[in-house]
Structure 1
Amino acid sequence: MRSTFHGLEVAKRGMFTQQSAIYVTGHNIANANTPDFSRQRVNFNQTEPYPAASMNRPNIPGQMGTGVEAGSIQRIRDSFLDYQYRNESTKSGYWSTRLDAISRMEDVMNEPTEFGLAKAMTQFWESLQDLSVSPENEGARAAVRQRGIAVAESFNYLHSSLTQIREDLGQQIKTGLLEVNSILRQISELNDQIKAIEPNGYLPNDLYDRRDALVDELSKYVQVKVDKQPTGGNALPIAEGIYKISIVDSTGAAIEVVSSTGYKTLSIDPSISGDPTNPNGYVRNVVLSDGTTIAPNDFANGKIKALIEAYGYGSTPTSVVGYYPDMLNKLDQMAYSFAEMFNAQHRAGYGLDNSTGLDFFSVGSVSGAAGAIQVSINDLSKIAASTALNEPGNGENALNLSKIKDLLITSGTVTISGSPVSVPIQGGTIQTFYEGFIGQIGVDGQQAQRMKVNADTLAKSVNENRQSVSSVSLDEEMTNLVKFQHAYSAAARMITVVDEMLDKIINGMGRVGI
């Protein structure tokens, strides 16, 4: 037969379980504004009914409930929404970083404004036209030299500024990989802590939250894949286990970086002249501590990929491609072509002292031309404005010099004073070449801005869906608090009822007539 105190035990279990639910609700309310906190709930389970099926069970009408127990305290999380958010976060990280790199380049190029290279060159061409009208005027000659210096200094400034930003990007790559390594180490340490707790039948919800927050942060740098591995022992069926983290490449292949045995660190290929912040450096590969390599263009998305693309990557120094190396290369091509074409026309003319065959600019080789170009004429009388000997009033060569910007280049060759001149620009004119790559910066910037907005919008939308599942709603928690409080009070009232019943049995029975 059932126990006399059966009702007390049922009520006691109800009180303890409702009390646990009240405590968990209080924990949720206390962490309503805690970042990355996932709300928790008590999973109520019915206790085993009485009597259990057995040969010597008592003969009663049927099984009776024995109350409730707190089976587990589980956090509320949707792994599919986590997966979606991390994918969008990776895209957002890539386009945000790419937009930042392009925006910094736009700030340096500063076009179209009154202070960019285009304006300096326009003023230079205008000063040559003025010189063609007054070739013997020393003021006009001084203006040409000063405007030429302004053009050279503009090239020098653009080259040094872009190079400095590129070096900063190289440092950001190193810093980003250090941050990735730190995140991987922390995830591995949390895995170890979770492995020590789950087999005992507990759910370390706070450790789960910290680990997921780290994976979210990691997803900004690289595209990640998360696989769960059971910890064994007496772990609950809903235990999340340890995380195996992999970097997903552009083909969809997974490269494991965190496992049950530890984690791997990422670094730049040491064969890259030592350091990616070297002005002539480049990224060959990202290397894992076990020797596995990831080529720069094999990264699927994320900040690291965007930084490497901006800084420059390749297999050899001559095969380096990237946003900033490409822009520096175009600037060098323009500076070298401009100087060579201008010098070729200048050598064909005569100065006031009948000097001829002199270069106006010194430029060196194509590589680094924008940083090396400078005016080599110091004596104003040697500026070759005339096309004929002993004709100081002849300004035709100055006029020809002012038309250099409009000379058509075909297959890397342009004809100046009847002679072919080879230049690195393959087609168009110097002006259209400059307008072309300045326009490309604008197009790339608009695309990056558009894609960033799209990625941010999708990430925000997915995160809102995720927060609707995992975040704390104070209205909902207050409703739960009232519900659990009433259930607790009802269980306590049941104890009072059972106590009164037992009082009748113990103290009132067997006292007939008293």
Structure 2
Amino acid sequence: MTTLASGIEIGRRALQAQQAALQVTGHNIANANTPGFSQRSVVLENVAGVSNGVGGGVDAVAVTRERDQFLDAQMRVEQQVLGRWQAMERALTGIESIFNEPAGAGSSEAGTIFNEPSGLGLSGSLSRFWNAWQDLANVPESGAARAAVRQEADFMVTTLHQLDTQLADLRGSLDGEVVAQVQEINEILDSLAAINGEIPRAGTDGGAADLLDHRDQLLENLSGRVDISVMEKDNGQVSVLLSGHNLIQSNQAVHLGVRAINQDGLATSRIFFADDGALVPVREGELRGLIEVRDLTIPDFQSRLDTIAASMVQEVNALHRTGTGPTGETGDFFDNAKTTASNIALDDRIIADLNNIAASADGNVGDNGIAIGISALRNDDSLGQLGGDTIEGFFFTLIGEVGARSKEAQTMADNHRLFTSQIENRRQSVQGVSLNDEAAQLVLFQRAYQAAARTVSIIDDLMEVTINL
């Protein structure tokens, strides 16, 4: 009787174990296309017998995830680099679009898709400004030629203003993205802290596996935003470090904060640790890319536009103030106190009266020495601030660098997208669900369940016979 009862118990354990295995297999199949899901496996353990050397059957003791921690760590590092280059790619594409000029618009010179002379961009306006002075040199007494000089100068000034404003607006937009990123990082940290609190209580029945999958997705998301390192404890909880600062302490999150400071007349956000106020040195991730373009790239390009504006004001005024207009007036052409791309302006006297535009070098109405001299600045590569380049050449160097940096960011982002794809393929070979394998497992567990049920039925029949003896 005792032996038959033991057989019933063995059968019961077998039914429960195979049922658990079938449930896990079904869970795998149901989540075959779920992002971040890790294949589950049931751990079956032999139950030792207590007498006669007969075993006690089988128990399903745990549900485990198929996961490669090395590949997970490698993916997090790669996501940090990818996040940085993708952010720079987007931002530099925005800068490139600012410097792109409409092909052939309003100009006799046909433009091309990328930054070639056209009528509406800065290169086109510079060209027409110099041409207007050459036209004035041809007819130095002409009021219409003077009007054209003022018109083209005003257009060039407006174009410089627009370029600087667009770059400043982009800086402001990137700063807004930095603030939004910090808010999203804090939300992720809160979620990770909550999961940290749940994991020790989740047990081994599969609940912990679902939590760990969610946790790993959050860590990967966080890695794309900022350069974190992760340390996992024996109980499944994680510590998340940023520049050695622990952002997750058990089930408590340390937030990041932002404070605005004035930089180049623009309020920009600096990131700090909320618990001690120390500034966060961001080295990788989307945050790094946004900050790098906001604080380094755009100010560099704005500074170069300022150099163009300052050179234009200095060189044109130096010649113009030595000449005279048709009625003997002298003075500056540009406002000498406004020498940046954001504020360059014509001198008030030029705006007020065309006769204040000087073409003559010797005071004679028909003389064109000043007009010729200013027109010749177009090809002057000895201007001090431009490093041996002409004003137009300096601008072409600038837009060439804009294109080169944008191309570099695109290439690097493409490379790291490929690297992350390769790592993900390797991870899927470990943690991904194979429907063919799961189908085979279903049949295996189904047969085992049926055999266990048959065993219980046979032992039940034997027990009935024994009882009726």
1:387-406 mapped onto 2 (5 Å cutoff) = 387-389=361-363, 391-406=364-379
1:412-431 mapped onto 2 (5 Å cutoff) = 412=384, 424-431=385-392
Alignment match, 1:12: 12
State the 1:294 CA deviation: 4.1
SS at match of 2:188: helix
State the 1:388 CA deviation: 1.6
Alignment match, 1:420: none
SS at match of 2:3: coil
Tell me the distance in 2 between the aligned counterparts of 1:361 and 1:102.
32
1:13-412 mapped onto 2 (5 Å cutoff) = 13-51=13-51, 60=52, 63-110=53-100, 111-114=115-118, 115-198=120-203, 204-231=208-235, 241-247=236-242, 249=243, 254-260=244-250, 262-269=252-259, 272-273=261-262, 279-282=265-268, 286-291=271-276, 293-294=278-279, 298-312=281-295, 322-356=296-330, 358-362=331-335, 364-366=337-339, 369-376=340-347, 377-378=350-351, 379-389=353-363, 391-409=364-382, 412=384
Deviates further, 131-140 or 213-222: 131-140
What is the number of residues matched between the two proteins?
451
Alignment counterpart, residue 481 of structure 1, candidates 432, 442, 451: 442
Tell me the distance in 2 between the aligned counterparts of 1:88 and 1:294.
24
Tell me the distance in 1 between the aligned counterparts of 2:464 and 2:26.
36
State the 1:432 CA deviation: 2.6
State the 1:126 CA deviation: 1.2
Tell me the distance in 1 between the aligned counterparts of 2:345 and 2:224.
44
Tell me the distance in 2 between the aligned counterparts of 1:330 and 1:452.
27
Tell me the distance in 1 between the aligned counterparts of 2:413 and 2:448.
50
Identity of aligned residues (%): 32
**TM-aligned CA distance change 1:363 to 1:347, over 3 Å:** closer
Tell me the distance in 2 between the aligned counterparts of 1:340 and 1:402.
14
SS at match of 1:293: coil
TM-score by length of 1: 0.83
Higher relative contact order (CA 8 A, sep 6+): 2
Structure 2 gap segments, 5+ residues each = 101-114
Tell me the distance in 1 between the aligned counterparts of 2:448 and 2:440.
13
Higher share of residues assigned helix: 2
Tell me the distance in 1 between the aligned counterparts of 2:55 and 2:161.
87
Tell me the distance in 2 between the aligned counterparts of 1:465 and 1:113.
49
Query: 1:109-131, CA deviations, whole angstroms, 9 ceiling, x for partnerless residues?
Result: 11225232111101111111111
Alignment match, 2:453: 492
Query: 1:19-60, CA deviations, whole angstroms, 9 ceiling, x for partnerless residues?
Result: 111111122222223222222121111112233xxxxxxxx4
Tell me the distance in 2 between the aligned counterparts of 1:478 and 1:459.
30
**TM-aligned CA distance change 1:488 to 1:113, over 3 Å:** farther
State the 1:457 CA deviation: 0.5
Tell me the distance in 2 between the aligned counterparts of 1:464 and 1:365.
58
Deviates further, 89-98 or 285-294: 285-294
SS at match of 1:372: coil
Tell me the distance in 2 between the aligned counterparts of 1:261 and 1:207.
14
Query: 1:342-377, CA deviations, whole angstroms, 9 ceiling, x for partnerless residues?
Result: 111111222111212x221225354xx111112231
**TM-aligned CA distance change 1:206 to 1:332, over 3 Å:** same
Tell me the distance in 1 between the aligned counterparts of 2:272 and 2:39.
39
State the 1:426 CA deviation: 4.7
TM-score by length of 2: 0.90
**TM-aligned CA distance change 1:466 to 1:294, over 3 Å:** farther
Tell me the distance in 2 between the aligned counterparts of 1:222 and 1:68.
47
